[in-house]
């Protein structure tokens, strides 16, 4: 996946919101959204991570909870369903 979707914040917000609406869990990180929600390949660059985290911080119903360790993704800045 190219970084084109993360460059367009409106499109990124829409894609993340759609993914979170169907997401069954209560805790998520930007890296999980990159791979599972956006179909990203490879490691997201810092600009992609910053864009996804900015959108996550602004989506109603989700709040930042700090670092959480994930088996697949390691320790990541995470968000919890409010």
Total-model pTM: 0.88
Q: List own/partner pairs for 13-20 with CB under 8 A and 24 or more apart.
A: 13/55, 13/58, 13/59, 16/52, 16/55, 16/56, 16/59, 17/59, 20/59, 20/61, 20/62
pLDDT of amino acid 1 = 46
pLDDT tens profile 2-48: 455 677 889 999 999 999 999 999 999 999 999 999 998 889 999 99
Domain ranges of the chain: 4-81
């Amino acid at each position: 996946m190219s970084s084109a979707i993360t460059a367009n914040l409106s499109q990124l917000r829409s894609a993340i919101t759609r993914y979170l609406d169907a997401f069954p869990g209560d805790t998520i990180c930007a890296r999980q959204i990159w791979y599972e929600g956006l179909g990203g390949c490879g490691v997201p660059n810092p600009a992609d991570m910053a864009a996804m985290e900015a959108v996550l911080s602004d989506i109603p119903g989700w709040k930042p909870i700090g670092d959480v360790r994930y088996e697949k993704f390691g320790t990541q800045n995470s968000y919890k369903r409010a």
